[in-house]
Structure 1
Amino acid sequence: MQKQEFEERIERTVTDEQYKVIEEVYMWHPSIRNTSGKDEVDA
């Protein structure tokens, strides 16, 4: 998921530093599924 898409989903902006952390969690956290990961991360 790109930063812009994430910001649209949560209806706010995040800094580049914040997004680096979010992206790392989104990509590598074992409990985030491939099929519904976007919904899990922006919840």
Structure 2
Amino acid sequence: MMCLHQSFNLIGIRLDLILIGIFNEFFIIFLYWLPLLARKKG
């Protein structure tokens, strides 16, 4: 019972890390494109 619970915890931690990684990628892309978009409008 305990082993199963621990494995589920590991899966949850991995999903959190994957979501954080995806969010960081989008954030970096957003920060990169923001000045370019501002330059086009301005």
TM-score, normalized by the shorter chain, greater than 0.5: no
Of Structure 1 and Structure 2, the greater helix share is in 2
Answer 1 or 2: higher relative contact order, Cα 8 Å, separation at least 6: 1
Normalising to structure 1: TM-score of the pair? 0.34
